[in-house]
Structure 1
């Protein structure tokens, strides 16, 4: 019998989102126990998913709320007794934030940093004791980043608010890798994915001629899980992975990894 693996996926509220789709895919694995972190764990979609799969547990998760994060991890410990993989997927990129630096309200930067960077720190601090005690001896902390966070492959103007917050989140991943000898800490770009966030970006950046983002959620989820499954400290940690190489468009990345 396969060894039990316990996952926490944050940002699982939206049915067309990466988090919910990751939970749905992991739920099909007989050895997986999956905690779906969501602002409202009682939404019908998560209730239906938990009713269909006995290994799925919706759990209240509020980004950058230490007391809530502590309580969520305590519930995971009580129910499952361990935590092996954390997918830090919760994040924001508001439609109003696509503005040049000269016109960007400072509170927009603050809001995005609080969720996309500080929220990641709070999550790790709350989860670290249970996560680092994983019986696998190779716990994973995967941060869902973005190609916009690559300073080398600059994606263009008007995305400094979202991009800067994700650059900061990426730095935290590098720090976690360096500070924790057993932890597999990695950033993963999901590409330009057709979630609400990705589609908002397509509408805002009308120069692309697109009404929605080009990457299908199911393809992105498969790619993200391919990066997580079988990850090791030596080959996977402290790196900024592309969910899969793509080509043909200015926003694509043809490499397995994004340049920092």
Structure 2
């Protein structure tokens, strides 16, 4: 067990997060901690029954006590932590800026911006002690934050909170010489969140399948290094189908 690569994925009870833990648990020589507000969820339990290297743990975004306890459990079980994929997020409002209550913005910043901050603060000591010498802190962000290639989707609370977490990752990368901190845009994925956003914008559903997004995300994480990967905003699904939301480049414009 001591030589296995140890992963923590947040927001792991469904969607992209569940897809990530399923893919990672199926790999040889991994230990995967699936962070979720309800780690007893049926889907996670069924998956853990198939993979003894998968450990569902309670982890509520931005809850310091939860995050501290989760990291303590990881240290007790695995003795190390090598890769964090901060995936947990909410997108609960679609509509004009003028109609969105301030409380909606506060809720999005709590989960999407402060969640990864609290997580990193809880995990810093253990993560930076990774025997790989290049611990990874990958945050799932969104291309809706792009100022250089802006596309309007009427979800400013989500977009603003994700833009804030982008700055967090840039700062963490600058402050830690060995930490490989970067962002990944997963694509517009056919999850509960993604399909809801698609329908709110007049589309039948999100265009990217979970399996394709997971493959692209892990392609950015596998083999990531400080020199080539850190401090950047990577695209998981390169597409150029003529749609305004397509991202045809390897990196997302800030």
Bin for the TM-score computed over the shorter chain:
over 0.9
Structure 1 residue aligned with 2:107, among 111, 126, 148? 111
How far, CA to CA, are the matches of 2:181 and 2:19 in structure 1? 21
Q: CA deviation at 1:2?
A: 11
Q: How many angstroms does 1:3 deviate by?
A: 4.1
Q: Distance in 2 between matches of 1:47 and 1:109?
A: 33
Q: Could you tell me how far apart the structure 2 residues matched to 1:130 and 1:9 are?
A: 15
Alpha-carbon distance in 2 for matches of 1:169, 1:81: 28
Equivalent position of 2:9 in the other structure: 9
Moved over 6 A (4+): none
Structure 1 SS opposite 2:159: helix
Q: Is the 8 A contact 2:2 2:79 kept in 1?
A: no
d(CA) in 2 for partners of 1:104, 1:50: 39
CA distance in 2, matches of 1:163, 1:134: 32
TM-score (norm 1): 0.95
User: How do residues 191-210 of structure 1 correspond to structure 2 at under 5 angstroms?
Assistant: 191-206=187-202, 210=203
Aligned to 2:253: 259
Give how far 1:244 is off: 2.7
Give the count of matched residue pairs: 253
Q: Is the 8 A contact 1:2 1:31 kept in 2?
A: no
Deviations 1:42-67 (A, max 9, x none): 11111111110010000001011001
- How does 1:215-254 map onto structure 2 within 5 Å? 215-248=208-241, 249-254=243-248
Calculate the TM-score normalised by the size of structure 2.
0.98
Q: How does 1:151-166 map to 2 (within 5 A)?
A: 151-166=147-162
Which deviations, in whole Å up to 9, do the C-alpha atoms of 1:111-167 show, x marking residues without a partner? 000100011100000000000000000000000001101111111151211100000
Q: Please give the secondary structure, in 2, of the residue aligned with 1:102.
A: helix
List alignment gaps of at least 5 residues for structure 1.
Answer: none
Range that drifts further, 52-61 or 148-157: 148-157
C-alpha separation between the residues in 2 aligned to 1:157 and 1:75?
A: 39
Matched, 1:25 2:23: yes
Distance 1:36 1:157 in 2: 30
Partner of 1:203, secondary structure, is helix
SS in 1 for 2:181: strand
Tell me what 1:186 maps to: 182
CA distance in 2, matches of 1:216, 1:2: 34
Within a 5 Å distance, the mapping from 1:33-112 to structure 2 comes to 33-94=31-92, 97-112=93-108
Q: Deviations over 1:14-36 (max 9, x none)?
A: 2xx00001000001111110000
Aligned mates of 1:189, 1:128 — CA distance in 2: 23
| Corresponding position: 1:148 with 2:144 | yes
RMSD: 1.2
Q: SS where residue 125 of structure 2 aligns? A: helix
- The 8 Å contact of residues 64 and 120 in structure 1, kept in 2 or not, is answered as yes
**Aligned partners of 2:212 and 2:237 also within 8 Å:** no
Q: Distance in 2 between matches of 1:51 and 1:160?
A: 40
